[in-house]
Amino acid sequence: MIKKLALNKSYLLSIFLVGFLAAFKWFGLFIAVPMAYAYSRRRFLAFFIFLVGVMLIFSVSHALWFPDWLVVYKFRSTRFGPPFHSSLGVLLQEFGISISSAYLPLMFGSWFLVQVLCLVNRLRPSLAIVLSLLSILIWAPDTTAQMLFMLTLLVLLEVNWDRPLWIGIVFGSTLWMTLMAAAAIGEIIPGLPFVNRLSFLSGPYGGPRLAFWAHLPLFLLIPKILEAARRKNASNLRTVE
């Protein structure tokens, strides 16, 4: 079994790349389970070795400055206050819903649900990778419009581009989101000096109006995400498996 795995270059390379990504950016850890699932092809030992390999690379990367870097984890674990940027919490607060004491349960609860759905084969791995990132970042209190922009692009790689209208709607709303973020920040984009005049629509940076515009493309994509979740045998499954 081990010998077979060792000969599988793509399997070993993916362990290295996911481990490298996790060592470089935390979000690499969040996608480790669906990646392991995709590359282990439902073989438990291969799945287990994949995760151990990723964790090993992640741990070794922490060998430097041990245990000084604990300060970063302490800082991160308490980072649930301002600045709120464009988070969903800001928007929900406007409707009288406070999630300020539930950030961690919401993040890890929804992330865990995605992992379970992937492991019981209810989500294809590529969609599970996208949703793993979405489930963590969507609840983060310091989520920015830039993060949401990147999440929207990631989701777009998974949904069905069957109608040009969808492409227009999502790109249009993403462009609008970008303009609103620029207007709220108050920076004038060179060549587009009118942008800061749109601040009467964006509201101040960190406010509920900007949070709404920043989430709008993802809200529009919800039906397509659900459709993608039902479409288990989509073509992009092949690219992962």
Partner 1 sequence: MGCKTENFEKSLFIILLIVGLIIRFYCIVYVDWTNSSDLNNYFWAASQVATGESAYRLWAQNLAGPRADLLPFELVIMSAVVQIWPSPEALRWFFVVD
List of residues contacting partner 1 (CB under 8 A) = 23-26, 61-65, 68-72, 75-76, 79, 153, 157, 161, 187, 189-190, 235-236, 238-239
Taking the C-alpha atoms of residue 119 and residue 207, their distance in angstroms, rounded to an integer, is 38
Report the half-sphere exposure of 220 (CA within 13 A, side-chain side). 21
Closest CB 64 distance from partner 1, rounded Å: 5
Nearer to partner 1, 23 or 169 (CB): 23
Nearer to partner 1, 23 or 51 (CB): 23
Nearer to partner 1, 65 or 112 (CB): 65
How many residues are recorded in the chain?
A: 241
Closest CB 124 distance from partner 1, rounded Å: 14
Query: CB within 8 A of 21, min separation 6: which ones?
Result: 27, 28, 31
Query: Bridge-partner residues for 192, per DSSP?
Result: 189
Report the half-sphere exposure of 113 (CA within 13 A, side-chain side). 10
Nearer to partner 1, 42 or 76 (CB): 76
Query: Bridge-partner residues for 189, per DSSP?
Result: 192
Closest CB 135 distance from partner 1, rounded Å: 21
Nearer to partner 1, 109 or 172 (CB): 172
Nearer to partner 1, 46 or 145 (CB): 145
**Phi, psi of 95, rounded to the nearest 5 degrees:** -95, 15
Q: Which residue has the tokens 């992937």?
A: 118
Closest CB 36 distance from partner 1, rounded Å: 20
Closest CB 105 distance from partner 1, rounded Å: 22
Nearer to partner 1, 76 or 197 (CB): 76
Closest CB 3 distance from partner 1, rounded Å: 31
- Cis omega (within 30 of 0) on the bond before 83? yes
Closest CB 218 distance from partner 1, rounded Å: 17
